[in-house]
Amino acid sequence: MGLLKICVMYALRDLNNHKVRAFLTILGIMVGIATMVELTMVGSSMEAKIEMELTELVGSAIIVRDPNGEPIPIYTAQVLSGIPGTTSVMPLVIDYCTINGRFGVILGVQADKVEEYATIIEGRNIKNDNEGVMDIDSGKRLGVSLGDEVEITSQTSPVAQRIKIVGFVEQGAMTRGFVAGGAPVCVVTIAKAQNILEMRGYVNTLLVKVGDVEHVRIVEEYIKRVYPFVEIITQEDILKSVNKILGTIRGILLALGAISLVVAGLGTMNTVMMVIREKTREIGIIKAIGGERRHVIAIFLTETLIIGIAGGGIGIAAGYWIGRYLLREFIPTLMGIELPIVFSANIAIQGMAIAIGVTIVASIVPLWRGANIRPIEALRYE
């Protein structure tokens, strides 16, 4: 009979004889792996959501603005539109304001360009300077319905300007790409935004659309030669900054998951120590009939591996369903943000590898001690 078969039969028999202890050990590993999997899913989903919205908003475009936040003459858009490789230049006015007494953001665009960057799903597009649109989430936050009026004020223009909401656009993209923290956004005409912010003849952001992604760097260099004082931001630049933030968040999430794994590892170590103590006489018999150190290690390591694989498999499944619930129900309800469900084979492989690794590391010390017990001492053990 092969050594592996003997090890597996011995391990299964021992686990069957100590069901409660085996269940609790597997449960500890399962909780740790489930925590790691669900947190990894949330982190990956956040990254995918941000990249998707940036691609939808920016894509092969270049954002041009003054590094000090100073206004840029609106005629600059016409100059940049003549650069070879550009398909269009969209002037924007973006600034913080107060909407119905709440902190928010005003976004001024050319009325005929709204539907190029966001799909209107209810109502219609802006037709004059007294009308505006919002994304669905902003409308819910402010309690605004189609046809309602909102009051907008700014630091430069404290007198309230009344804007009639004539349409709602899909959440994300145009209105969310520039805003952190989920502040309500109201989209108005460029002329109205300039009036509210007292920026007549000026804008503070230019969105330069490039026909081919491969030409982005060429257009960027051309803009720098023409306007060396401006700040140029591409999708790649934004993603680098976002990934730094996400890296920090992911590190915090993994640290929280690591706490559960440490607890699981200590539980596994305690289980192996108890098994070794209970099986001391059996270890002595094995060594007395010619068994070697590696045979003892193989027998008891098989038991811990079975525990690790079982805990890892159940933990991955539990983590997936918990993560799915968080992404579909909990986070949208709590934060009003819809995230895609991201679960790949790499997450499952990583979870299983961690589960097996934790059980092996936690078993090394007690297994080594058990394997080095002298046969005569082991046979005397009561």
- Residues 114-119 have a mean pLDDT of 73
- Whether the pLDDT of residue 306 is over 50: the answer is yes
Instruction: Based on the fold, state whether residues 345 and 222 are members of the same structural domain.
Output: no
Phi then psi for 171, rounded to 5 degrees? -65, 140
133 lies in some domain: yes
Instruction: Based on the fold, state whether residues 118 and 210 are members of the same structural domain.
Output: yes
108 lies in some domain: yes
Instruction: Based on the fold, state whether residues 199 and 89 are members of the same structural domain.
Output: yes
Cα dihedral 234, 237, 239, 241 sign: negative
Quote the pTM value.
0.64
Share of residues in the chain with pLDDT > 90 (%)? 8
AA identity, residue 65: R
59 lies in some domain: no
150 lies in some domain: yes
pLDDT tens for each residue of 23-33 = 888 888 888 88
What local confidence, expressed as pLDDT, does residue 177 receive? Answer: 46
111 lies in some domain: yes
- Whether the pLDDT of residue 101 is over 60: the answer is yes
34 lies in some domain: yes
Collapsing DSSP to helix, strand or coil, 92 comes out as strand
Residue 49 structural domain: 3-53+241-380
pLDDT tens for each residue of 133-189 = 988 888 888 889 999 999 998 888 778 889 999 998 876 544 444 444 567 888 999
63 token code pair: 């954002």
| E strand segments, 127-266 | 131-135, 149-153, 161-169, 185-189, 202-203, 205-210, 231-234
325 lies in some domain: yes
pLDDT tens for each residue of 223-275 = 888 888 888 877 677 777 777 777 777 777 777 777 877 877 888 888 777 77
Instruction: Based on the fold, state whether residues 186 and 269 are members of the same structural domain.
Output: no
Write down which residue in 229, 261, 296 finishes a domain. Answer: 229
Instruction: Based on the fold, state whether residues 47 and 178 are members of the same structural domain.
Output: no
Q: Confidence band (pLDDT; 50, 70, 90) for 320?
A: very high
What local confidence, expressed as pLDDT, does residue 175 receive? Answer: 44
pLDDT tens for each residue of 364-382 = 877 777 667 666 655 555 5
Alpha-carbon Rg for the chain, nearest whole angstrom, is 31
Instruction: Based on the fold, state whether residues 263 and 311 are members of the same structural domain.
Output: yes
From CA 342, how far away is CA 45, in angstroms rounded?
5
Instruction: Based on the fold, state whether residues 278 and 203 are members of the same structural domain.
Output: no
What local confidence, expressed as pLDDT, does residue 173 receive? Answer: 46
Give the side-chain half-sphere CA count within 13 A for 275. Answer: 32
Instruction: Based on the fold, state whether residues 161 and 264 are members of the same structural domain.
Output: no
Distances 235 to 59, 80, 213 between C-alpha atoms, Å = 6, 18, 10
Mean per-residue pLDDT over the chain, rounded? 80
Region for 84 from its dihedrals, namely left if φ exceeds 0, alpha if ψ lies in -120 to 50, beta otherwise = beta
The more confident residue out of 347 and 257 is 347
Q: Confidence band (pLDDT; 50, 70, 90) for 20?
A: confident
| E strand segments, 8-160 | 61-65, 72-73, 86-99, 102-109, 120-123, 131-135, 149-153
Write down which residue in 174, 204, 229 finishes a domain. Answer: 229
From CA 264, how far away is CA 362, in angstroms rounded?
9
Distances 57 to 16, 52, 207, 229, 238 between C-alpha atoms, Å = 58, 9, 10, 24, 12
Instruction: Based on the fold, state whether residues 72 and 34 are members of the same structural domain.
Output: no
Instruction: Based on the fold, state whether residues 217 and 270 are members of the same structural domain.
Output: no
Give the least confident one: 104-118, 127-141, 284-298.
284-298
Number of domains in the chain: 2
From CA 48, how far away is CA 342, in angstroms rounded?
8
DSSP string, 185-200: EEEEEHHHHHHHTT-T
From CA 257, how far away is CA 367, in angstroms rounded?
26
58 lies in some domain: no
What local confidence, expressed as pLDDT, does residue 104 receive? Answer: 87
- Residues 41-50 have a mean pLDDT of 80
Instruction: Based on the fold, state whether residues 42 and 139 are members of the same structural domain.
Output: no
Write down which residue in 207, 229, 251 finishes a domain. Answer: 229
Instruction: Based on the fold, state whether residues 47 and 74 are members of the same structural domain.
Output: no
Phi then psi for 189, rounded to 5 degrees? -70, 155
